[in-house]
Chains A and B, each alone.
Chain A
Amino acid sequence: MRLWALLRGDVRFQYKYGFYFLYMFLALLYIGMLSVFPDGWRERAAILMIFSDPAAMGLYFMGAIVLLEKSERTLDSIAVSPARTHEYTLSKLFSIGVISVIVGLTIGLVGGAVKITIQFLVGLLLCSCLFSAVGLVIVARSVSLNSFIISTVPVQLLINLPAAAWLFGWQPSWLLLHPGVSMMQLCMPNRPVLPSGVILASWTLAAWVIANRTVAGMFKQIGGVKL
């Protein structure tokens, strides 16, 4: 199965380029930081750390991954292979999603933020896929790491600020439609699971559809067409 082949390729690529080593180091750093927080703060701090890093890693990593593929011209070979655009994007989302879940779950368990594991995992995975899809949309239009980083700043603000505000008590009901808030609702106990799940899944699906279109355009740009 081609999706499986692409996924194995992405995991091997991320391992060889040191992404896993970097995240093992960051996970240890976060766990060390959590241990110095007072008990009352630890859970909230863990959720904020998970949301702003393991869950959001796709936003940053997608830039590095795809720009490396562009610079090594391997996208050219993928563009003339039987691999379909949605297989390429799903492989990227799942490969990052696996690391997000492992690192996020580790931090969550240490910080005491994991109450209902399945809910927590679904929220984390969907949120990771959302960030990765947004990262793909941005990187497909970026020509350098600098332009990619600059473009991610407004996205980070749009996703992170309302979610952080919610976590620290500013909770108007309309903010429940925000994807970051939905993820937090899923990760915290005694919250409405289904609406949050549906909202987050809808945002993720929409971002993935847009990512597919943008990546298809990126493959066409290999041919030299400006879109």
Chain B
Amino acid sequence: MIRVKQLTFSYTNRPFICSMSFDVREGEIFGFLGPSGAGKSTLQKILTGLLTNYQGSVLVNGVEVKARDRGFYEEIGVDFEFPSLYEKLSARENLRFFASLYKKSRDPNELLASVGLLQDADKRVADFSKGMKSRLNFIKALIHDPKLLFLDEPTTGLDPSNARRVKDIILEQKAKGKTIVLTTHNMYDATELCDRVAFIVDGSLRAVDAPRSLIMAKGASIIRYTFLQDGKEQQREVAIDRTGEDELLQQLLKDNRLLSIHSSEPTLNDIFVEITGRRLA
């Protein structure tokens, strides 16, 4: 669905994105992870045709983005990080207007209901909370039933239950065969939703793989346990493949003196830090 080869882009004289190459397969959720200013949004602008003065090749849905025509946008839905809505129009009027720009469209009511906004459909967007605007912005990207979705921080500003709704809709879109490009610095969303993630730092890709593969390849699971010593609670940890060598743990188990014991895997954030030396948030 997307094929990027030797992509280089610059806002100034200095390259901002350097020789980037990757593919996004049809029907997968592909995540771009990186700290602010890493180049994620710039990359999304290039993939959506907002920036066309790049070097290299960027094929999206079989079209070289530089040479796109307006028909290119019939199959692309973009959820920008910040709401892009007419504040004095109602939610339904906003959806109807944007739907009218495309050849095909979905039922606005069905979409509004899917994110819990049907009862507020005729309310002015100016009266919406930040989270409501964010949900409306998200379904606006789906109004023309595109094959390819670009979602920029789709769960930012949402409470846990609405974030869950949005994530479920993203997974439903994937089940329908849609390709989704997710830009985020939320490692939990990326781990849960993405088939593959790309780590971006300073305009270059440092790793591309499935989140689980990255976690399992780079990090060893840890066991943490606590116990009492001289009346104070102490904590120790040991790699899961070295528990047999931990004599203290053996002894505590034998004496039934463990207060707690947990296993923990490294998170995607831990792996990101390990590979790139930078933090996600």
Residues of A at the B interface (CB closer than 8 Å) are 2, 5-6, 8-9, 12-13, 16-17, 72-74, 76-84, 219-220, 222-226
Contact = CB atoms under 8 A, between A and B. Distances in A.
A80 B100 contact: no
B71 interface: yes
Given A80-B78, A82-B71, A224 B86 contact: no
A5 B85 contact: no
A17 B126 CA distance: 12
B154 interface: no
B83 interface: yes
Interface string B30-55: 00000000000010010011111100
B264 interface: no
Contacts of A83: 70, 101
B74 A13 contact: no
Would you list the 6 A-B pairs with minimal beta carbon distance, nearest first? A223-B50, A5-B100, A223-B51, A73-B84, A16-B88, A77-B84
22 contacts: A2-B100, A8-B100, A12-B93, A13-B86, A73-B83, A73-B84, A74-B86, A77-B80, A77-B140, A78-B101, A80-B49, A80-B50, A80-B73, A80-B78, A81-B98, A82-B70, A83-B70, A219-B50, A223-B50, A224-B42, A224-B50, A225-B11
Interface of B: 11, 42, 45, 48-53, 70-71, 73-74, 76, 78, 80, 82-89, 93, 97-98, 100-103, 140
Contacts of A5: 97, 100-101
B97 A9 contact: yes
Contacts of A84: 70
Given A12-B89, A16-B89, A224 B45 contact: yes
A219 B73 CA distance: 14
A185 B91 CA distance: 47
Nearest to A18: B88
Q: Is the interface of A mostly helix, strand, loop or mixed?
A: helix
Contacts of A9: 97, 100
A2 B70 CA distance: 12
Contacts of B97: 5, 8-9, 12
B50 A79 contact: yes
Given A82-B74, A220-B51, A226-B11, 8 more contacts: A6-B101, A9-B97, A13-B88, A73-B85, A77-B140, A222-B50, A224-B45, A225-B11
Nearest to B16: A224
Contacts of A8: 97, 100
A81 B87 contact: no
Contacts of A73: 80, 82-85
Contacts of B101: 2, 5-6, 78, 81-83
Nearest to B90: A16
B88 A74 contact: no
B108 to A, nearest CB: 14
A77 B78 contact: yes
A54 B87 CA distance: 27
B86 A225 contact: no
A76 to B, nearest CB: 5
A74 B51 contact: no
Given A13-B89, A82-B102, A74 B74 contact: no
Given A76-B80, A77-B98, A84-B70, A17 B51 contact: no
Contacts of A80: 48-50, 73, 76, 78
Contacts of B89: 12-13, 16
B85 A74 contact: yes
B27 to A, nearest CB: 22
A222 B98 CA distance: 18
Given A80-B78, A81-B102, A82-B102, A223 B45 contact: yes
Contacts of A219: 50
B51 A224 contact: yes
B41 to A, nearest CB: 9
Given A80-B49, A82-B74, A74 B84 contact: yes
Nearest to B88: A16
Nearest to A2: B101
Contacts of A225: 11, 51, 53
Contacts of A72: 83-87
Contacts of B50: 79-80, 219-220, 222-224
A84 B72 CA distance: 12
A13 B93 CA distance: 10
A219 B68 CA distance: 15
A126 to B, nearest CB: 28
Question: Which residue among A12, A74, A77, A84 has the maximum number of chain B CB atoms within 10 Å of its CB?
Answer: A77
Contacts of A220: 50-52
